[in-house]
Amino acid sequence: MPEQIRVLLVDDSVVVLHGLKTILAESRNIIVVGTASTHDEAITAVGQHRPDVVLLDVQVGSVSGIDLCETLRHRFPKTSMCFLTAYEDRALLRAAIRAGAQGYLLKSCSGVEVARSIAIVAEGKAVVDPALVTQVMTWIRDSAQGSRRQSIEDCSKSDFEVLSRIAAGKSNKEIAQELHATPAKIASRIQAIYKRLKISRRSEATSCFVRWRERLPRSMPNGTALIQSPIMRHLDDNT
């Protein structure tokens, strides 16, 4: 771990950013190198400051913080990601972990806990808010049960891109054209999704996706970024 941990803060609330800067200023080994309020600002700031840790929310304005995390991890693999959010939603926690986040904290935690967690993440370790440990353990236990049908929430972003188009009534050829892939590759991806979800028909895939879509807004109030993702916009455009 570096002597001073360089941290970039990403949140669409000026009040939250100011509060975090004030709290982290009390830590001798943490320096806030910059802040960002939008997706584009965050990418630019990380490229400019090259922080050790990015502390971000799961929703940044109208954009998904989960997608932002995935983008930053791809472009800046040496920078660690830690979420600080008000959302306790299981789907968001899983999505954050799949996107490459090393930490997931709730905004109800103390300033001391935030600083301690940043230090843990900077060392390359993982940290989860104590209130969410049970959810993580349940996920791990369920994943170990190989015969159990996997939840659609465990699907990757690319899986959702395919599932949303299946639900919209697209053929394999149409899906391949839209995703710039060959029909054979799309067919292979669909079979992999079927195997993962223990299903065998397009109607079942559509049913899984629609049930997930109907459930998501209720579990995440105020319209989170996942609802506003390109996947959901695509389905909305075709319904």
CA angle, residues 55, 76, 26, in degrees to nearest 5: 30
In one-letter notation, the amino acid at residue 158 is S
Instruction: Give pLDDT, residue 154.
Output: 67
Q: Over 60: is that where the pLDDT of 213 sits?
A: yes
The whole-number average pLDDT for the span 53-82 is 93
CB 102 within 8 A of CB 121: yes
Query: Can you give the pLDDT at residue 42?
Result: 96
Indicate the pLDDT class of residue 238, thresholds 50, 70 and 90: very low
**pTM exceeding 0.85:** no
Write down the residue that tokens 């190989």 correspond to: 146
∠ CA 122-124-129 to the nearest 5 degrees?
75
Q: Could you tell me if residue 180 is left (phi over 0), alpha (psi between -120 and 50 degrees) or otherwise beta? A: left
C-alpha neighbours within 13 Å on the C-beta side of residue 10 = 30
3-class state of residue 6 by DSSP? strand
For residues 17 and 10, give the distance between their C-alpha atoms in angstroms, rounded to a whole number.
7
pLDDT digits (tens, 9 = 90+) for 157-177: 888 889 989 988 899 999 999
pLDDT bracket for residue 143 (50, 70, 90)? low
Q: Give, in order, the Cα–Cα distances in Å from 229 to each of 19, 68, 92, 144, 160.
A: 29, 11, 13, 30, 11
H or E stretch at 95: helix 90-98
Backbone angles phi, psi at 166, to 5 degrees: -60, -45
Res 234 pLDDT > 60: no
Which of the pair, 149 or 188, is modelled with greater confidence?
Answer: 188
Q: Other C-beta atoms within 10 Å of 160: how many?
A: 23
Ranges assigned E (strand) in 19-101 = 30-36, 53-56, 59-60, 63-64, 80-85
Contact between 65 and 59 under an 8 Å Cβ cutoff? The reply is yes
Residue 143 or 236, more confident: 143
Average pLDDT of the segment spanning 43-69: 93
pLDDT at position 3, please? Answer: 78
pLDDT of 120 higher than 90: yes
* Range name among 49-53, 71-75, 145-149, 202-206 with the lowest pLDDT average: 145-149
Instruction: Please list the residue range(s) of the chain that carry CATH number 1.10.10.10.
Output: 152-237
Which residues make up the CATH 3.40.50.2300 domain(s) of the chain? 5-138
Give 179-204 pLDDT, tens digit per residue.
999 999 999 889 888 888 888 888 88
CATH topology of domain 5-138: Rossmann fold (3.40.50)
Across the chain, mean pLDDT equals 83
- Give residue 233's pLDDT: 42
**CATH classification for the domain delimited by 152-237, as one of 1.10.10.60, 1.10.3720.10, 3.40.50.1010, 1.10.10.10:** 1.10.10.10
What tokens does 81 get? 């990601």
**Model confidence at 227, in pLDDT bands (50, 70, 90)?**
very low
The predicted pLDDT at position 156 comes to: 79
> What tens digit of pLDDT does each residue of 70-110 get?
999 999 999 999 999 988 887 788 888 888 999 999 999 99
**Residue 138 pLDDT:** 76
